């Protein structure tokens, strides 16, 4: 059995007490202090906030239409170190800069440190448009059976597009198209209504008086097109608009 003198007991108690409070002090100090890494993180601008600012800006620039808007943001370099902005971030584009398709959006901060960053993005406008359902040769008279509605990014369709079956029904292809090709007005023409050499009726109107004469078509023409016809009575050539098969209207 070990016996300790009274002064030894007091010394040990004081040492234990001193060590306990030292430990408490160190723990409190650690909890109240921010590590250098954590402090740096708290003073850096969130890159996710920059992306959100760009996305919201691009969304606000779009005009409501019969399409679905899909925005893709190219994330800034994760190694980027920007001071945290005290004010709301401001997004902008240069004058004349497009906000559909491939776009570049600037984001700037004014305080406490002024900085500007440019972010790449892509804004797709998705819409169902008419495409060739199979390879179609030149001269095909189109019907609904020849086409399909397929979702496309219309910002990439520089030649235009068609989305209503009424726009192609009965129209003729000017050239062959491959399966899946997007149809546009430049590929189509109205069917020939009057053929060259065909006898036609020339219709003239003046002050409410209607005059009809016999004529002959000198060129082919579809409904609504301007063609050259010869008046068989006078032998003169005039221009008129095709109204229907065998009927051309001229101005008197």
Is the pTM higher than 0.85? The answer reads: no
Domain range for 163 is 126-189
Residues 152, 162 within the same domain = yes
Rounded CA separation 154/148 (Å)? 16
pLDDT in tens, 153-184: 999 999 999 999 999 999 999 999 999 999 99
Residues 63, 118 within the same domain = yes
Residues 197, 178 within the same domain = no
Residue 22 within any structural domain of the chain: no
At 23 the pLDDT is 54
CA 243 remoteness from chain centre: 39
What value does the mean pLDDT take over residues 141-146?
Answer: 95
Could you tell me if 85 and 50 are in contact, meaning their C-beta atoms sit under 8 angstroms apart? no
3-state SS, 66-128, equals: CCEEEEEECCCCCCCCCECCCCCCEEECCCCCCCCEEEEEEEEECCCCCEEEEEEEEEEEEEE
Read off the tokens for 73.
């943001």
At 9 the pLDDT is 36
User: Which of 170, 189, 208 is a domain's end point?
Assistant: 189
Residues 58, 120 within the same domain = yes
Classify residue 17 by burial, with Cβ atoms within 10 Å: 0-12, 13-18, 19+. Answer: exposed
Residues 144, 212 within the same domain = no
How many residues are given for the chain?
Answer: 252
User: Which of 137, 158, 189 is a domain's end point?
Assistant: 189
Residue 38 within any structural domain of the chain: no
What value does the mean pLDDT take over residues 54-71?
Answer: 95
At 206 the pLDDT is 79
Residue 82 within any structural domain of the chain: yes
Maximum Cα interatomic distance, the chain, rounded to a whole number of Å = 147
Instruction: Tell me what the pLDDT averaged over the chain comes to.
Output: 86
- Of 3-7, 50-54, 123-127, the one with minimum mean pLDDT is 3-7
Residue 19 within any structural domain of the chain: no
Residues 95, 58 within the same domain = yes
User: Which of 163, 189, 215 is a domain's end point?
Assistant: 189
At 19 the pLDDT is 58
Residue 49 within any structural domain of the chain: yes
Residues 92, 162 within the same domain = no
Q: Which residue has the tokens 């059976």?
A: 145
Q: How confident is the model at residue 2 (pLDDT cuts 50, 70, 90)?
A: very low
At 20 the pLDDT is 54
Residues 119, 131 within the same domain = no
At 174 the pLDDT is 94
At 249 the pLDDT is 94
Looking at the 3D structure of the chain, how many domains does it have? 3
Q: Read off the CATH number of the domain in which 198 is found.
A: 2.30.30.760
pLDDT in tens, 21-47: 565 555 554 544 444 444 444 589 999
At 7 the pLDDT is 42
Residues 119, 59 within the same domain = yes
pLDDT in tens, 193-229: 999 999 999 999 877 788 999 999 999 998 889 999 9
Residue 36 within any structural domain of the chain: no
Rounded CA separation 210/204 (Å)? 6
At 145 the pLDDT is 95
Residue 244 within any structural domain of the chain: yes
Residues 141, 119 within the same domain = no
Residues 178, 242 within the same domain = no
Residue 236 within any structural domain of the chain: yes
At 30 the pLDDT is 52
Residues 76, 87 within the same domain = yes
Q: Read off the CATH number of the domain in which 139 is found.
A: 3.90.1210.10
């Amino acid at each position: 059995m070990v016996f300790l003198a009274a002064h030894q007991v007091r010394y040990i108690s004081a040492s234990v007490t001193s060590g306990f409070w030292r430990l408490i002090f160190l723990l409190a100090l650690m909890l109240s202090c921010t590590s250098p890494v954590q402090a740096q993180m708290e003073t850096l601008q969130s890159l996710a906030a920059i992306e959100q600012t760009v996305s919201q800006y691009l969304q606000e620039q779009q005009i409501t239409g019969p399409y679905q808007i899909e925005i893709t943001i190219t994330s800034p370099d994760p190694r980027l170190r920007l001071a945290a902005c005290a004010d709301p971030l401001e997004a902008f584009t240069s004058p004349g800069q497009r906000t559909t398709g491939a776009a570049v959006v600037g984001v700037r901060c004014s305080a406490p440190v002024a900085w500007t960053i440019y972010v790449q993005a892509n804004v797709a406008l998705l819409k169902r448009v008419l495409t060739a359902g199979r390879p179609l040769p030149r001269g095909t008279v189109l019907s609904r059976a020849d086409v399909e509605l397929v979702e496309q990014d219309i910002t990439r369709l520089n030649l235009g597009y068609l989305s209503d079956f009424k726009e192609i029904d009965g129209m003729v292809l000017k050239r062959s198209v491959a399966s899946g090709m997007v149809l546009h007005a430049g590929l189509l023409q109205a069917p020939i209504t009057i053929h060259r050499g065909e006898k036609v009726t020339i219709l003239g109107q003046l002050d409410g008086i209607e005059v009809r004469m016999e004529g002959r078509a000198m060129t082919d023409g579809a409904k609504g097109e301007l063609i050259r016809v010869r008046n068989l009575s006078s032998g003169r050539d005039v221009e008129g608009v095709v109204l229907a098969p065998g009927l051309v209207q001229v101005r008197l």
